[in-house]
Amino acid sequence: MNNQNLGLYKRIIKLIFILAISHTLINCTSVQPWQRRNLAKPQMALDSASMINELRSHNYGSREAGSGGNSASGGGCGCY
């Protein structure tokens, strides 16, 4: 590889690096308190029914506590 090609590769690498950095910095922004309501929609949550799932997990764990926890099949009252 000669010096001319090496210089071209260095310029391409620099251009890619500058584009990546500028793209990252463009996407950084602060969210104002009145804008957070739009970002906190229920569809954006990882678990849309977290309270219901916590209650189900608690009930299941209390019923299955006599048989060694959630890993055992059966036991407790036998429902669920």
Residue by residue, DSSP assigns 10-56 as: HHHHHHHHHHHHHHHHHT-----GGGHHHH--GGGSSSTTHHHHHHH
pTM above 0.85, yes or no: no
pLDDT at 2: 73
Residue of 68, 64, 57 lying closest to 79 (CA atoms): 64
Q: Is residue 79 over pLDDT 70?
A: no
Query: Which tens digits make up the pLDDT trace of 36-78?
Result: 887 787 777 777 777 888 888 888 777 665 555 555 555 556 5
Q: Is residue 12 over pLDDT 90?
A: yes
